[in-house]
Amino acid sequence: MAEKRVVNDLAVLGGSPVFPEMLHVGRPNIGNRERFLERVNDILDRRWLTNNGRYVREFESRIAAQVGVRHCIAVCNATIALEITVRALGLSGEVIVPSFTFVATAHALQWQQITPVFCDIDPATHNIDPGKVEELITPKTTGIVGVHTWGRPCAVGELARIAERRNLRLLFDAAHAFGCTHQGRRIGVFGSAEVFSFHATKFLNAFEGGAVLTDDDDLAARIRLMKNFGFAGYDNVIYIGTNGKMSEVSAAMGLSALESMEDIVAVNRRNYGRYRAELSGIPGITLAAYDESERCNYQYIVLEVDESCPLPDRDLLVRVLHAENVFARRYFHPGCHRMEPYRSCSPRAGVPLPNTERLTRRVLSLPTGTAIGEEEIRRICGIIRFAVDHGAEIGGRFP
């Protein structure tokens, strides 16, 4: 390790980086490789590569059984799954959504001419603040999309009560939350539907993939039609649709990951505990906590850098980490409402969202998962501690 004794030892100031190669946030967790390759061989032998194949159907039924819902519809990714679900729910006009989310949540609405109306978050949970939803409802509002950011469930009960009282549809973007529970119930059972992501960077990885979970038989039937061009059988199109199908190789990866899920949680949980211990007592640095009385997937290590930190700001810490080959990410900077096209075209995108704006200036994500171990975490936290301890001096070098 390139030890840091004085600030000039930092790579950002010309020293050698701690890590010879970049450590990424979102390195894929690879489940049981042999089981995956067996399935791939079977797929190739049978020459059935996509279009509702055996592995897609098995993946769907295993997820539905595990979560406890009537329907799981596998889709090629969560963005298309959101788009299809929004359409199948009949949403139109305006839909209330947090700005503090990956831009796909907002795009899935705007892509079909629905205006995302951005709501502020609760700074304690990083999730949509149900207390701020009602003031955004207009005669054009048709729904609410809650996001379980970092896999920490949003206020599903309060959102459900608002949706019921105001006759709105409630959908959850559960991209981060596979394997998590809220009050003992699996994420996937709430609202009209919930959407998981199985992208390579997600807790459960199918290369690319997503799924819609719902107990609503009619909605599930519409989504199944829509994800397959509207085909109700050979040569029989009865609906407008798109191509949202998951391939067999993705389902094979998803199944192998599902079988390794408990091992992956154990690694993530151990990493979270190590980060918590190594970061404790560093002034101005807070690790976003998981509620350990619930099931969590511990997939995200999220820090907040607050005003009491001797380093001038989060961006300087990110710069220091990048130079040391720790590719920390500023998810979800700067907030959807300050990205195009929303910044320019959304009528209420300019509404102040103080908690979102504050958080997007403070937050950063660090590497975790099966690709890193105890030593890497110790070194990453060592860099952070050193940078904070010498925050004023480093700040002086980057006025």
Among 197, 207, 210, residue whose Cα is nearest residue 252:
207
Provide the residue type at 252 as one letter.
A
With CB under 6 A as the contact rule, the residue among 10, 18, 78, 316 that binds ligand T4K is 78
Q: What does the alpha-carbon distance between residue 22 and residue 29 come to, in Å, rounded to a whole number?
A: 17
Whose Cβ is closer to ligand T4K: residue 168's or residue 336's? 336
Binding of residue 150 to ligand T4K (CB under 6 A): no
Binding of residue 314 to ligand T4K (CB under 6 A): no
Whose Cβ is closer to ligand T4K: residue 26's or residue 53's? 26
**Which DSSP string corresponds to 225-292?**
HHTBTTBSSTT-B-S---B-PPPHHHHHHHHHHHHTHHHHHHHHHHHHHHHHHHHTT-TTEEEPPP-T
Among 267, 252, 256, residue whose Cα is nearest residue 298:
267
Among 269, 281, 254, residue whose Cα is nearest residue 61:
254
Whose Cβ is closer to ligand T4K: residue 272's or residue 386's? 272
Residue 366: phi and psi, rounded to 5, are -115, 160
Least distance to ligand T4K, CB of residue 205, Å: 8
Q: Please give the structure tokens belonging to residue 25.
A: 């946030």
Binding of residue 360 to ligand T4K (CB under 6 A): no
Least distance to ligand T4K, CB of residue 334, Å: 14
Whose Cβ is closer to ligand T4K: residue 275's or residue 331's? 331
Binding of residue 29 to ligand T4K (CB under 6 A): no
Q: What does the alpha-carbon distance between residue 317 and residue 386 come to, in Å, rounded to a whole number?
A: 11
When CB distances to ligand T4K are compared, the closest residue is 26
With CB under 6 A as the contact rule, the residue among 19, 190, 331, 386 that binds ligand T4K is 331
Q: What does the alpha-carbon distance between residue 187 and residue 191 come to, in Å, rounded to a whole number?
A: 10
Region from 6-14, 101-109, 119-127, 304-312 binding ligand T4K, contact rule CB under 6 A = 101-109
**Sites for ligand T4K among residues 103-132 (CB under 6 A):** 104-105
* 247 in Cβ contact with 119 (< 8 Å): no
With CB under 6 A as the contact rule, the residue among 92, 110, 125, 201 that binds ligand T4K is 201
Least distance to ligand T4K, CB of residue 342, Å: 15
* 298 in Cβ contact with 268 (< 8 Å): yes
With CB under 6 A as the contact rule, the residue among 13, 160, 200, 287 that binds ligand T4K is 200
Binding of residue 27 to ligand T4K (CB under 6 A): yes
Q: What does the alpha-carbon distance between residue 361 and residue 249 come to, in Å, rounded to a whole number?
A: 39
Binding of residue 274 to ligand T4K (CB under 6 A): no
Q: What does the alpha-carbon distance between residue 206 and residue 197 come to, in Å, rounded to a whole number?
A: 9
Binding of residue 199 to ligand T4K (CB under 6 A): yes
Least distance to ligand T4K, CB of residue 160, Å: 20
Region from 19-27, 37-45, 214-222, 305-313 binding ligand T4K, contact rule CB under 6 A = 19-27
Among 347, 60, 9, 322, residue whose Cα is nearest residue 214:
60
Interaction pattern, residues 157-176, with ligand T4K; x per rule: CB under 6 A: ----------------x-xx
Whose Cβ is closer to ligand T4K: residue 105's or residue 391's? 105
Region from 23-31, 257-265, 289-297, 381-389 binding ligand T4K, contact rule CB under 6 A = 23-31
Q: Is 94 helix (H, G, I), strand (E, B) or coil?
A: strand
Among 177, 174, 193, residue whose Cα is nearest residue 84:
193
Residues that bind ligand T4K (CB under 6 A): 24-28, 77-79, 101-102, 104-105, 147, 173, 175-176, 197, 199-201, 210, 327, 331
